[in-house]
Every structure is written in structure tokens, then in C-alpha cells.
Amino acid sequence: MNCKDIEIKIIDFIDKQLSESESKLMQEHIDSCISCKANYEETMVLMGAFKNEEQITPSDDLRKNFLNQLDEEKQLQQTQVVQLNQAPSFNWKQAFQIAASFLLLFLGFFAGNYTSKQKASEEIAVLQEQTIELKENMMLAMMDNRSASKRIQGVQYLDEFSNPDETIVKALVARMLLDENTNVRLTAVNALQAFIASETVKNGFVKALGTEKDPGIQITIIQALVKIQEKKALLPMQRLLENNETQLFVKEEIKSTISNII
């Protein structure tokens, strides 16, 4: 049994839906594999958090409204749904979206017990904040994963945030600057372009221009900095022009665009 088998069957293993022989093989692999053990423990915590919640019955009106909204959302997402038992590997992003949906479902049930609309709104706001915090923690955990593909998924999870906090932004900048995998760095650069107005992002792009060796990523960063006319980029761009190791097409890109900053 390999790591991919563990990812696919981890939920059934926790729910004791596997045969005795499969469960034994699963347990032996988890005990011997650090990555799968971490995956198992994270999934246990996530599932346990929901199983341990107290069952609360919502009001009829709240239940009806919530189910109507849920049905509309399911129709919108219908083309994106992936059956986990048919997937070739476990999709962390979808799993965390499902987890967040369950938390919001609990939120609706919890709010149904209040007669005061104002108090219910306050409780909803608190739980929504907790949902965002859960997503942030999951994203940070994925970006620290040993697997490059998982780190890429973690970076792409930024799509879930319309206004990510500074911790998330700094973590993405660190991936752009320090990750050993070129695809992870490029994915981080593309994700951060949506938040180029941030001083943290701008400074990170300027720093990356002085350290990045991959010409494709260099071009992407140059185009982003030229677009916002970032004058701090002039010095590292000049150094790239003077560096004999800089690819010719990168130098041509700098020469053709640097006038937009000066």
C-alpha cells in the first residue's frame, strides 16, 4: 500500500469502513510514513471537530431558507463537484471547502436557537471569523507540506480569500522567494499579482527580481512591476542587464519596458 492509497482511503479507514486486512495495512503504512501520519492526524482532528459538536435544531424558517440557499449553491457548483471515492488522489482544497461548508451548516443550526436577530447575527459573525481562521490554518499547513504539488494547492487556495491578512501574504512571499520548486515559486508570483498594491508584495517582487534565476519567473515579475511603475525595481533590473548570466530575451524585455518606469 502506497501514499496515494492512503490519501484515497483515509476517510474510510477513520470511519472503520475497510476490511480488517486493509485496515491493518493502512495502520502499518501510517505508522511508518511521516507524511501519511500527519495527513491522518490532520484528518482526525478535522472530522472530530464536527463529530463532537452538539446537535442543535434550527427553526423551521431558518432551516428552509438555509436549505434553499444550499440548493442554489449546489446547482452553481455542480460542474465542479468531484466524487471523492472516484478521485485518483485526495484533493485538499475541496476537502477544506467541504469542512468550511459543514462549519457554516452548524452555524445556521446554532443561530436558529436564538430569538434575538441581533444576537444571532453576532454569533454568525463569530463563526464566520472562525471559518476564515480555519481556512487560513489549512492553507498555511498545505504550503509547508513536503510535497510540491500540495504546496502549489496551498498557494492556489488564496482564491478563497478576498482580503488575505498579512500572515497569509508573508507566507506566499516566502514561497516565492525561498521555495526550491520552480513551479511553486511561479504559482506564488501569479497569486500575489492580485495583491500587488500591498507594500509587502511590492517589496517581495523587487527582492525576488534580485534573487530569482528562472527566466520565466523573471519575466513575470518584471511585467508586474512595470505595470505598477515601481521605481524600486529599476536597480535590480539594471543589474540583470549587466549580468552576463541573464538570458537575452529577459534583457530585451527589460529594455523594451524600463522606459515605462523611468
Q: What is the pLDDT of residues 244-260, one digit of tens each?
A: 999 999 999 999 999 88
C-alpha cell of residue 60: 423551521
Question: 240 or 94, which is more confident?
Answer: 240
Decide if pLDDT at 156 tops 60.
yes
Residue 84's pLDDT is what?
37
The per-residue b/e assignment along 153-189, b for 16 or more CB within 10 angstroms, e otherwise, is bbbbbbebbeebeeebbebbbebbeebeeeebbbbbb
Within 8 A by CB and 6+ apart from 196, the residues are 202, 205, 224, 227, 228
Instruction: Assess contact for 261 and 230: CB atoms under 8 A.
Output: yes
Higher pLDDT, 204 or 38: 204
The pLDDT tens digits for 67-82 are 666 566 556 555 444 4
Mean model confidence pLDDT for the chain: 77
Q: In this predicted structure, what is the pLDDT of residue 37? A: 83
Three-state DSSP at 12 gives helix
What would the mean pLDDT of 221-225 be, rounded to a whole number?
94
Q: Which amino acid is at 255?
A: K
Whether the model clears a pTM of 0.75, i.e. scores above it, the answer is: no
Give the model's pLDDT for residue 32.
87
pLDDT > 70: percent of the chain: 66
Residue-level pLDDT at 132: 67
140 vs 50, higher pLDDT: 140
Cα gap 243→241, rounded to integer Å? 6
- Note the pLDDT of residue 173: 94
Alpha helices in the chain (DSSP H): 3-14, 20-32, 34-51, 60-76, 92-111, 117-143, 148-156, 166-178, 182-192, 199-211, 215-227, 234-242, 248-257
Q: Mean per-residue pLDDT for 93-122?
A: 57
Instruction: Say which residue, 24 or 78, is predicted with more confidence.
Output: 24
Instruction: Give how far Cα 160 sits from Cα of 202, 206, 235, 249, Å.
Output: 21, 26, 35, 35
